[in-house]
Amino acid sequence: MHMDLGIGVLIAFASAMVASIVALIYLVESIRTHVGLFFSYFGLLMMLTMLLGASIYLAQPSSLTLAVAVGLNMGTMTALLGYFLYSAHSIVRSLNMSKSDYYLVSLLLVSNEVLMGSTFGIAQFGVGPFSTPYGAFYTSVNSYWFFYPMMSEMLSLYIMLYLKGRNQDELYPLVGITAFPITALHVSHWSELSMALTLVIAVYGALKSSRTWRWIYTSLAISALAVRVSPLPYDAAILLSMIYYYVYSLPIGRREFVERK
């Protein structure tokens, strides 16, 4: 059972979610205080619980699952705001974000996109493909509802950095790879075309980059070749590379990052 929502309505909702996450990325990229960091976490966690609650409700619409969805969202909001009010006196101070903060923010960003794949996938296709843990993971990640919102968000961050004079050549090949997801579209000759483009872009990215990024693009190329055998290495490579994209790029342009360099 699933909600009969038109594709246009789903695209409108997804676009609004992407715009909200881009706004949060802009906030994270310009954070200077612990209060700013708190509200970044607050926004990302609220979106996460909203998507999780929506997935629960769409999978089995009823008054009970609606109550669970609302309770999950309201409970999270109440707990976070309670923590903020209790700790407000101690978090109103300047901040140098640690590496762990960037990893946590990056993990939350990618987790939100995985849940977008789940929520909008259930709304469009029903709960059938999500009936097993593997099916839920596979369908959520190998979905245009995951790839294209994430591509839009990564591209938005790249443009933000570019406008600040930080032209990071090692970043944009990954944006290009996410524009041609091998497993997300099931149309004639798409897998062949997207695999060829992925390989070309990954080789270009490896040649243009150094150190960690070279390994990332190499792993994407190898896992793309292995998709016909199993999509899981490709999925893992995509998820890890997206997390590292944010870990690497969010500090760029911040004063404390420059000083550490």
Q: What is the pLDDT of residues 130-163, one digit of tens each?
A: 989 999 999 999 999 999 999 999 999 999 888 8
Neighbouring CB atoms inside 10 A of 112's CB total 24
pLDDT tier at 91, thresholds 50, 70, 90: low
pLDDT tier at 19, thresholds 50, 70, 90: very high
Query: Are 76 and 46 contacting, i.e. CB atoms less than 8 angstroms apart?
Result: yes
Task: Using a pLDDT cut of 90, give the percent of the chain over it.
Answer: 56
Query: Are 241 and 174 contacting, i.e. CB atoms less than 8 angstroms apart?
Result: yes
Assigned token pair, 35:
């209060």
* Rounded (5°) CA angle 9-180-242: 85
pLDDT at 202 over 80: yes
Assigned token pair, 154:
């990564």
- pLDDT for residue 145: 93
pLDDT at 31 over 50: yes
Q: pTM of the full predicted structure?
A: 0.87
Query: Are 84 and 38 contacting, i.e. CB atoms less than 8 angstroms apart?
Result: yes
- pLDDT for residue 257: 43
pLDDT tier at 81, thresholds 50, 70, 90: confident
- pLDDT for residue 187: 83
Average pLDDT of the residues in 209-214 = 89
- pLDDT for residue 256: 41
pLDDT tier at 100, thresholds 50, 70, 90: confident
- pLDDT for residue 34: 76
Helix then strand count (H, E) for the chain reads 11, 0
- pLDDT for residue 255: 43
pLDDT tier at 258, thresholds 50, 70, 90: very low
